[in-house]
Amino acid sequence: MKPVNLKQLAEELGLSIATVSRALQDSHEVSAATKERVRALAAELHYEPNAYASSLRRNQSKTIGVVIPKVTNHFFALAINGIEEAARQSGYHVLIYLTHDDYEREVAIIQHLKGGRVDGILLSVASGTEDITHLESLREAGIPLVFFDRVRAEIATAKVTTNDYESGRLATAHLLAVGCQRIAHLLISNTLSIGQNRHQGYLDALAAQGHAPDPDLVLPGTTDNARNVQLIEELLRRRPDIDGIFASVERLAVGAYHACHRLGRRIPEDVKVVGFSNLESVSLFDPPLTTITQPAHDIGREAARILLRAVEKKRPVLPTQSVVLASELVPRRSTAVAVSSPL
Amino acid sequence: MKPVNLKQLAEELGLSIATVSRALQDSHEVSAATKERVRALAAELHYEPNAYASSLRRNQSKTIGVVIPKVTNHFFALAINGIEEAARQSGYHVLIYLTHDDYEREVAIIQHLKGGRVDGILLSVASGTEDITHLESLREAGIPLVFFDRVRAEIATAKVTTNDYESGRLATAHLLAVGCQRIAHLLISNTLSIGQNRHQGYLDALAAQGHAPDPDLVLPGTTDNARNVQLIEELLRRRPDIDGIFASVERLAVGAYHACHRLGRRIPEDVKVVGFSNLESVSLFDPPLTTITQPAHDIGREAARILLRAVEKKRPVLPTQSVVLASELVPRRSTAVAVSSPL
DNA sequence: CTGTTAGCGCCTTCAG
DNA sequence: CTGAAGGCGCTAACAG
């Protein structure tokens, strides 16, 4: 069954295609009566304009592309949620592409997207990406780009990220405030800016209280979770004076949780742990971890809004501006389990 | 900067647009020499065919639409992962739409999708959906539809779901096999088919071993997690003979975990718990829960493959077939924590 | 207010 | 093997 098109509507109504088109767009230069007639028939026949013909003609797809490393990371799932919300409100569609942190794939996706399939791109850089000429080429292709979460400073465009530095500082300051003297920092090993910024926040919070930085307390994690637990365990054994842990990423927070368990160190009595986490379930741990939750939904929505604003205004290219949202320090506790909060 | 098109390539090469088009498609009726020339220039100028012009002409978008209630549920995130994988392998693009379990929104999305924007649709029905005429209308619009996870039996098309009955049966049989005599079933209270099927599996597994069903051991959960923990606690107090728990959904499994904790009942020594869960982090609980993991990734990929097969073969409409994948019973244990597996 | 005309970029007969 | 021509469905001048 072929879908109905303007031509059919026009013939049926004894009007020209142009008039029908205008009526459907509620143009001011068509009589109310004809508009009504047209709309009635369109509704009756379930007319739906062909998106591609329209896109071809107007040279705009009403679609944005979202390129992320993975969707199974809860942060990105939440971000997509925010993106979809903003897109829908503006009548835009959302194409999803997963890089799986593979550079080659990221390049291929970007190249493909230059075929006009999208009006703009939201991207969180793959961790394996070094060379960024593929991203730079988007500028000359006239496709607006907005980074979120994992950004590349070299590209002059809008970037929306968690306030990593401030989060690291707050988490550490919090641990100091509740009496910790030796605070370890578990960080991700790669060179992503988020790790560095969080670490700087950690260092500055310590310095602000007159604590000298101790490199021995800083543990770079690996991609192997089991190995991480071992490393953390070793650290805790080597340094029994550690009474606070700040974990830069979720899986390290969980690793710290287990390492403490295995060593019989109680949380929060013996060791207080604060970690980044976006997973609800982590709050159900017993004892619960004190977590820093990234405003993932807001980040996604904000990034999408910035992008859409540029797209709508017919590509007035995006100014180099970095938008940073504060993250919230949340003392998560299971609502059901009667334990004292670690805070 | 306008993107290059066939016309520009043709002029530059002194060829006709038709020849260039054919060369780029590796048509057999064009000399190897010209093909090479064309390809070289195309690569040099970073030519990328306009997706919309192509779609309009060929009447196919190389895009599938995925309509799901939410993306922040880990099951759906995993499913999208599988869908994207299958789509990419076939050179298809993935449009994401979230209904947030809102019927109106589902209808609006489907209506919009009839504009030819997608070649096929993968859908997991919104829980609020009763009337399904919008889904039926897809048939006459010639857009293939495949259900996954949340299906509607009335629509004659392919459906891909978890094998709920078998999972419930297996989980219960497992508890019986490890010596449980009184097995409680925590189930979701709504009327979704998944709950009923899992419960039937539970009942049949009990019957197979000569156990009479005991309604007092069946606890319908609420949407309030804290309340659920209370209810489970009451149940365990009232029935101290309970030595096994089968939880139909993730949050009830977590609830059972906490209830046991509060009552000082050890897992798995006093009570063995098996629950559905898709979250990795749940496996990190200590003691770990024995979980049944839905093959979400596989479900998504399989659903996408079925859809794409139909789409590729130029819409030979999908036969009414229900594809069910077995779920796997996985004794999850933290790789790092030295506890005996509950199995 | 309505109709005619001319493409958007690409693919695909039909002629050479 | 290559070129010329027509049209996918829609929109946007330009006329009336």
pLDDT in tens, B102-119: 999 999 999 999 888 999
Question: E strand or H helix at A40, and its extent?
Answer: helix A32-44
Question: E strand or H helix at A315, and its extent?
Answer: none
| pLDDT at position A191 over 70 | no
A55 beta carbon to strand D: under 7 Å: no
Q: State which nucleotides on strand C lie below 7 Å from a protein beta carbon.
A: 1-5, 7-13
B31 beta carbon to strand C: under 7 Å: no
Contacts with B276 (C-beta within 8 Å, 6 or more apart), sequence order: B167, B198, B247, B248, B249, B250, B253, B291, B292, B293, B294
* Cα separation values, B74 from A16, A72, B278, Å: 51, 7, 6
Contacts with B16 (C-beta within 8 Å, 6 or more apart), sequence order: B10
Task: Give the model's pLDDT for residue B341.
Answer: 21
B21 beta carbon to strand C: under 7 Å: yes
In angstroms, rounded to a whole number, what is the distance separating the alpha carbons of residues A233 and B184? 38
In angstroms, rounded to a whole number, what is the distance separating the alpha carbons of residues B203 and B222? 21
Instruction: Note whether residue B149 is domain-resident.
Output: yes
Contact between B56 and A53 using a beta-carbon 8 Å cutoff: yes
Task: Give the model's pLDDT for residue A343.
Answer: 22
Pairing of strands A290-293, A328-330: antiparallel
Higher pLDDT, B339 or B63: B63
Contacts with B53 (C-beta within 8 Å, 6 or more apart), sequence order: A56
Q: Which nucleotide is nearest to A22 (CA to C1')?
A: D11
In angstroms, rounded to a whole number, what is the distance separating the alpha carbons of residues B184 and B236? 9
In angstroms, rounded to a whole number, what is the distance separating the alpha carbons of residues A329 and A276? 9
C-alpha closest to that of A93 among A69, A114, A72, A122: A122
The total of other beta-carbon atoms located within 10 Å of residue B220's CB is 16
Contact between B95 and A95 using a beta-carbon 8 Å cutoff: yes
Contact between B258 and A284 using a beta-carbon 8 Å cutoff: yes
* Chain B residues closer than 8 Å to A63 by CB: 95
Q: How far is the CA of A2 from the C1' of C12 (A)?
A: 20
Instruction: Note whether residue A58 is domain-resident.
Output: no
In tens, the pLDDT along A62-88 reads 999 999 999 988 889 999 999 999 999
Question: Mean pLDDT over residues B234-251, rounded?
Answer: 92
If asked whether residues B114 and B201 sit together in one domain, one would say no
Per the structure, the residues numbered 34 to 53 in protein chain B that have their CB within 7 angstroms of any atom of strand C are 49-50, 53
Contacts with B55 (C-beta within 8 Å, 6 or more apart), sequence order: A52, B61, B62, B116
* Chain A residues closer than 8 Å to B48 by CB: 111-112, 114-116
Contact between A257 and B284 using a beta-carbon 8 Å cutoff: yes
Q: Which nucleotide is nearest to B35 (CA to C1')?
A: D1
Q: How far is the CA of B60 from the C1' of D2 (A)?
A: 27
Q: Which nucleotide is nearest to B52 (CA to C1')?
A: C9
Instruction: Note whether residue A168 is domain-resident.
Output: yes
Task: Give the model's pLDDT for residue B340.
Answer: 18
Contact between residue B76 and residue B99 where contact means Cβ atoms under 8 Å apart = no
| pLDDT at position B298 over 70 | yes
| pLDDT range class, residue B295, cuts 50, 70, 90 | confident
If asked whether residues A190 and A233 sit together in one domain, one would say yes
If asked whether residues A263 and A182 sit together in one domain, one would say yes
Question: Mean pLDDT over residues B71-81, rounded?
Answer: 92
List the single residue in A55, A259, A285 with the smallest CB-CB distance to B52: A55
If asked whether residues B174 and B268 sit together in one domain, one would say yes
Residues of chain A with pLDDT > 70, as a percent, come to: 86
**Which single residue has its CA nearest the C1' atom of nucleotide C11?**
B57
What CATH number does residue A144 fall under?
A: 3.40.50.2300
Higher pLDDT, B13 or A245: A245
Instruction: Note whether residue A28 is domain-resident.
Output: yes
If asked whether residues B169 and B291 sit together in one domain, one would say yes
If asked whether residues B143 and B76 sit together in one domain, one would say yes
| pLDDT at position B221 over 90 | no
B321 beta carbon to strand D: under 7 Å: no
| pLDDT at position B249 over 60 | yes
Instruction: Note whether residue B204 is domain-resident.
Output: yes
Task: Give the model's pLDDT for residue A156.
Answer: 84
Query: How are the residues of chain A apportioned to helix, strand and coil, as percentages rounded to the nearest 5?
Result: 45, 15, 40
* Chain B residues closer than 8 Å to A282 by CB: 281
If asked whether residues A88 and A17 sit together in one domain, one would say no
Return the minimum-mean-pLDDT range out of A261-270, A307-316, B149-158, B186-195. Answer: B186-195
| pLDDT range class, residue B331, cuts 50, 70, 90 | very low
* Chain B residues closer than 8 Å to A252 by CB: none
If asked whether residues B143 and B176 sit together in one domain, one would say no
| pLDDT at position A321 over 80 | no
If asked whether residues A194 and A255 sit together in one domain, one would say yes
The structure's pTM equals 0.84
Question: E strand or H helix at A26, and its extent?
Answer: none
Return the minimum-mean-pLDDT range out of A148-162, A258-272, B180-194. Answer: B180-194
Task: Give the model's pLDDT for residue B131.
Answer: 84
Question: Mean pLDDT over residues A147-164, rounded?
Answer: 85
| pLDDT at position A203 over 90 | yes
| pLDDT at position A239 over 90 | yes
**CB environment B122-152: b (16+ within 10 A), e (fewer):** bbbbbeebeeeebbeebbebebbbbbbbbbe
Return the minimum-mean-pLDDT range out of A183-192, B53-62, B79-88, B216-225. Answer: A183-192
| pLDDT range class, residue A117, cuts 50, 70, 90 | very high
Q: What distance in Å separates residue B255's CA from the closest CA in chain A?
A: 8
- Domains held by chain A: number: 3
Q: What distance in Å separates residue A12's CA from the closest CA in chain B?
A: 20
Q: How far is the CA of B54 from the C1' of C9 (A)?
A: 7
Contact between A94 and B95 using a beta-carbon 8 Å cutoff: yes
| pLDDT at position B343 over 80 | no
Mean of the per-residue pLDDT values of chain A: 83
In angstroms, rounded to a whole number, what is the distance separating the alpha carbons of residues B290 and B172? 12
Contact between B52 and A61 using a beta-carbon 8 Å cutoff: yes
Question: E strand or H helix at A281, and its extent?
Answer: none
Contact between residue A312 and residue A243 where contact means Cβ atoms under 8 Å apart = no
* Chain A residues closer than 8 Å to B111 by CB: 46, 48
Instruction: Note whether residue B279 is domain-resident.
Output: yes
What CATH number does residue A45 fall under?
A: 1.10.260
If asked whether residues B86 and B196 sit together in one domain, one would say no
Q: What distance in Å separates residue A336's CA from the closest CA in chain B?
A: 5
Range of the domain at B230: 164-295+329-335
Task: Give the model's pLDDT for residue B342.
Answer: 25
In angstroms, rounded to a whole number, what is the distance separating the alpha carbons of residues B226 and B330? 27
Mean of the per-residue pLDDT values of chain B: 83
Task: Give the model's pLDDT for residue B307.
Answer: 92
List the single residue in A51, A116, A259 with the smallest CB-CB distance to B116: A51
Instruction: Note whether residue B57 is domain-resident.
Output: no
* Cα separation values, A75 from A15, A199, A220, B315, Å: 52, 20, 21, 37
| pLDDT range class, residue A190, cuts 50, 70, 90 | low
Return the minimum-mean-pLDDT range out of A132-146, A327-341, B245-259, B311-325. Answer: A327-341
B22 beta carbon to strand D: under 7 Å: yes
Closest-CA residue of B relative to A288 is B285
Task: Give the model's pLDDT for residue B1.
Answer: 60
Mutation site, A57, A93, A119, A228, interface B, largest B CB count within 10 A? A93
| pLDDT range class, residue A337, cuts 50, 70, 90 | very low
If asked whether residues B100 and B121 sit together in one domain, one would say yes
DSSP state letters, A204-246: HHHHHTTPPP-GGGEEE--S-HHHHHHHHHHHHHH-TT--EEE
Contact between residue A80 and residue A66 where contact means Cβ atoms under 8 Å apart = yes
| pLDDT at position A251 over 60 | yes
Mutation site, B44, B46, B52, B265, interface A, largest A CB count within 10 A? B52
* Chain B residues closer than 8 Å to A291 by CB: none
| pLDDT at position A339 over 60 | no
Instruction: Note whether residue A54 is domain-resident.
Output: no
| pLDDT at position A281 over 80 | no
**Which single residue has its CA nearest the C1' atom of nucleotide C13?**
B18
| pLDDT range class, residue B252, cuts 50, 70, 90 | confident
If asked whether residues A279 and A187 sit together in one domain, one would say yes
Contact between residue A299 and residue A325 where contact means Cβ atoms under 8 Å apart = yes
* Chain B residues closer than 8 Å to A116 by CB: 3, 48, 50-52
